[in-house]
Amino acid sequence: MSLRQDNITYESLLEGNKEWVAERLVENPNYFDELAAGQHPPILWIGCSDSRVPANQITNTLPGDIFVHRNIANVVTHTDMSLLSVLDYSVNVLKVKHIVVCGHYGCGGVTAALGSKQVGLIDNWLRNIKDIYHANENDILTIEDPVERSNKMVELNAIHGAKNVMSTSIVQNAWAQDQKLSVHAWVYSLKTGLITDLKVSASSAEDMPAVFKMDVK
């Protein structure tokens, strides 16, 4: 633990909030009035809960710019009602223009999924990543270095998540109504601070395999 983290307390969080408010008001006296007026973020970010990957900071954006959903290892499944509720609200109410599924190298959830050690309830959640590993096992096993192997799984997990978002009825209905909406897979490096576009994107149902396309009424 860093010295700075040792100094973070319950009280210091409240003091930090006051300092942050004061700084914002110096920059713009109407800052909080404008923020309270409503949100119109163009981006939905689906990322990992890892404390080192805050969406706004690593993209140099402000509160109100990105609508965020985070979970352990940025897993996207079709049975996660929390994620689906966020997705539905983002697409149908906020009318976001882009959905980003962003993983990060060094993800503890992905590393745990590659092993056999029991962690707890989360083992059932990480089973989704094990399924991705199983589907790509032949390619993964050709990577001898364990770090590179984990990094590859991080990329595959983000790609799989983005494709799952694309295949939801929520996104496909939006595309059928000619709503401008794109889905992307990214990965973030903790070591460099840089985001890599994995070049897996879709802006219409035509960008998807036929088996996932729905007949939308």
| Residues designated catalytic | 48, 50, 52, 104, 107
Please, are residues 168 and 84 in contact by the beta-carbon 8 Å criterion?
Answer: yes
Show contacts of 120-128: CB within 8 Å, 24+ apart: 122/72, 125/71, 125/72, 125/73, 125/75, 126/72, 126/73, 126/75, 128/75, 128/77
With H, G, I as helix, E, B as strand and everything else as coil, classify residue 44.
strand
Tokens of 187: 């990965």
With H, G, I as helix, E, B as strand and everything else as coil, classify residue 196.
strand
Largest Cα span, the chain: 58
Q: What residue type is 179 in one-letter code?
A: Q
- Of the candidates 54, 102, 98, which has an alpha carbon nearest to the alpha carbon of residue 75? 102
Q: Give 3-state DSSP helix, strand, coil % of the chain, rounded to 5.
A: 50, 15, 35
With H, G, I as helix, E, B as strand and everything else as coil, classify residue 102.
strand
Residue labelled with tokens 């032949």: 138
